[in-house]
């Protein structure tokens, strides 16, 4: 099978009124070669900034919201058991070759290495928000199953008003500040510093994400990661999992006084397991150092796609002596013999995000916030949105209250 990676940019197509969505019509069709390699054969103009609110994605059921943000709710937005309920008791340890993180690799541990480095350049997104994007740019478009990574900063007057999604998960992690969310299923909520919202858009949802600004409060800053869904999950009922800062478990790989703590958003670190379950499999960690020169070895499932985003300070990866600076995304190797990654702080304030997920060896066709497997499915999605059906029943009648305050 030949590698195929095609971009098709269409201004006006078929009989669909594309003006209903203010996005460039960008098809990104990808087929992965069995060797795992990707190549670009055709390149299109990069899409213009689009108001799709891909920052603080929140969403929830047509019922009373979860009153304890530290407890996972596995129901869909309509209150029915979700696809995640089948994963509730799944043992994540079955996914990994080992289950502990040590201060140094054992004799049998083989570290991953950096194979690509991309600087996340600041740009405008949504309604006046600033984001640093790496995954999802021309420099790093193919990193299955990861579709996009945005490091966002939302100043007063900016935000992410009403917009739809289908076919992917969005993971929003707040580094500081507060943001409100509201969706077409009737749910409203707030995510604060250190909290996470893991949303599965599934067959379709419409929502808004708006910052909260108050005297003495920092501007909302955080990260949003888009993760592709396998074909079997693209049309599931929308669902979500939310944890506040206290609900995200913390690991101390070498003890509480060693100068390193790890927020286990999903997956396992140093024997500490997150309650979050992801469709398709995805681990996500926030590493925070307060000492220079502290090393740790984080186990990762063999063969999974993995990357690091450096938030602060400098970082050394694997056996390399190169210091990687803030705002760089580091793609890691994924050889079958590699059991994890060796990390070492280069400063006493180093912070990073580490994500790993099982690759999805399926075609991708993406149009803004819609991510499917074929062009026909994208056209069906556009029709569903325009006609208000199959997950988008309130596309023309619902308006969020929080977006009106901007």
Question: Phi, psi (5° rounding) for residue 244?
Answer: -80, 180
Longest dimension (CA), the chain: 63
Token pair for residue 207? 């929502």
pTM of the model: 0.80
The phi-psi region of residue 332 (left if phi > 0; otherwise alpha if psi is between -120 and 50; otherwise beta) is: beta
- pLDDT tens track, the chain, 406 positions: 332 333 333 323 333 344 444 444 444 444 443 333 322 222 333 333 333 333 323 333 333 434 343 344 444 555 544 565 555 544 554 444 333 344 556 657 999 999 999 999 998 876 677 899 999 999 998 799 999 999 999 888 788 889 999 999 999 999 999 998 898 888 888 899 999 999 999 999 999 998 898 888 899 999 999 999 999 999 999 998 999 999 999 999 999 999 999 999 999 999 999 999 999 899 999 999 999 999 999 999 999 999 999 999 999 999 999 999 999 999 999 999 999 999 999 999 999 999 999 999 999 999 999 999 999 999 999 999 999 999 999 999 999 998 887 5
| The pLDDT of residue 85 | 53
The answer to whether the CB of 232 falls within 8 A of the CB of 200 is: no
Q: Where are the domains of the chain?
A: 4-50+362-405
pLDDT of 156:
83
Rounded to whole angstroms, the Cα distance separating 283 from 387 reads 37
Segment 388-404, tens digit of pLDDT: 999 999 999 999 998 88
Report the SS3 class of residue 116. strand
pLDDT attached to residue 216: 87
* Structure tokens belonging to residue 90: 């799944």
Tens of pLDDT, residue by residue over 77-119, are 555 445 655 555 445 544 443 333 445 566 579 999 999 999 9
Strands (E), 144-274: 146-153, 160-165, 168-176, 178-183, 188-191, 196-200, 205-212, 221-228, 239-243, 250-251, 260-266, 268-269, 272-273
Q: How far apart are CA 167 and CA 366, in angstroms?
A: 9
Interacting residues of 232 by C-beta distance below 8 A, sequence separation 6+: none
Task: Calculate ∠ Cα 101-106-112, nearest 5°.
Answer: 70
Using the Cα atoms of residue 328, residue 329, residue 333 and residue 338 in order, give the sign of their dihedral.
positive
10 bridge partner residues: 25
């Amino acid at each position: 099978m030949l590698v195929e990676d095609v971009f098709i940019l269409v201004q006006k197509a078929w009989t669909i009124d594309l003006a209903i969505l203010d996005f460039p019509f960008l098809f990104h069709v990808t087929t992965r070669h069995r060797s795992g390699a990707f190549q670009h054969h055709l390149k299109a103009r990069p899409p213009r900034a689009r108001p799709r609110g891909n920052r603080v994605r929140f969403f929830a059921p047509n019922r009373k919201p979860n009153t304890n943000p530290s407890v996972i709710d596995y129901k869909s937005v309509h209150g029915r058991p979700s696809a995640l309920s089948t994963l509730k008791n799944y043992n994540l340890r079955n996914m990994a070759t080992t289950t502990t993180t040590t201060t140094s690799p054992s004799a049998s541990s083989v570290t991953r290495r950096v194979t690509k480095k991309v600087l996340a350049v600041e740009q405008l997104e949504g309604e006046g928000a600033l984001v640093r994007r790496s995954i999802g740019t021309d420099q790093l478009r193919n990193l299955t199953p990861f579709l996009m990574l945005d490091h966002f900063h939302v100043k007063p007057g900016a935000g992410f008003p009403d917009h739809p999604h289908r076919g992917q998960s969005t993971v929003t992690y707040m580094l500081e500040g507060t943001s409100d969310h509201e969706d077409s299923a009737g749910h409203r909520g707030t995510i604060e510093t250190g909290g996470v919202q893991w949303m599965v858009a599934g067959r379709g949802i419409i929502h808004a994400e708006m910052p909260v600004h108050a005297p003495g409060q920092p501007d909302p800053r955080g990260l949003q990661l888009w993760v592709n869904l396998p074909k079997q999950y693209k049309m599931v009922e929308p669902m979500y999992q939310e944890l506040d800062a206290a609900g995200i478990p913390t690991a101390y790989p070498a003890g509480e006084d060693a100068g390193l703590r790890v927020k286990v958003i999903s997956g396992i670190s140093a024997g500490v397991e997150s309650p979050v379950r992801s469709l398709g499999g995805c681990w996500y960690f926030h590493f925070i150092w307060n000492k220079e020169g502290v090393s740790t070895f984080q186990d990762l499932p063999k063969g999974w796609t993995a990357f690091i985003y450096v938030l602060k300070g400098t970082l050394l990866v694997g056996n390399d002596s190169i210091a990687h600076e803030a705002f760089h995304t580091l793609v890691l190797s994924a050889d079958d013999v590699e059991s994890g990654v060796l990390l070492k702080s280069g400063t006493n304030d180093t912070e990073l995000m580490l994500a790993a997920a099982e690759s999805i060896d399926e075609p991708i066709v993406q149009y803004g916030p819609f991510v499917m497997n074929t062009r026909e499915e994208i056209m069906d999605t556009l029709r569903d949105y325009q006609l208000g059906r199959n997950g988008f029943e309130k596309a023309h009648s619902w308006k969020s209250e929080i977006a009106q305050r901007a």
